[in-house]
Amino acid sequence: MTAKNSGISVPFGFYKVRYYGLLATRNRTTRLRKCHELLGSELQRQARLNWEVLYEEVTGQPPNQCTDCGGPLLVVDYFLPARSPP
């Protein structure tokens, strides 16, 4: 996306910069780690949960259980994509 089609007018010869400073793509993790070190806080990593655990937390019901009778749901068939993504 260029500045021309984003609706922002930028003077001739200038470029729109998405991220600048701490959140710039280059060395982002090392800079954020350094910031945490200087502030005296610990970088907390959250464990990645799989979709089944997240579904159960949101709905309160296991994803492999029928909502009507409470019986187990079984995989009967898989649908393959009609074509590969572009």
Q: Which of 39, 62, 38 is nearest to 50 (CA)?
A: 62
Q: Per residue of the chain (86 residues), what is the pLDDT tens digit?
A: 554 555 567 788 887 766 667 777 778 888 888 888 898 887 677 778 888 899 999 989 898 998 889 899 888 888 887 877 66
Assigned token pair, 3: 């500045």
Query: What's the pTM?
Result: 0.39
Residue 69 CA, distance from chain mean position: 34
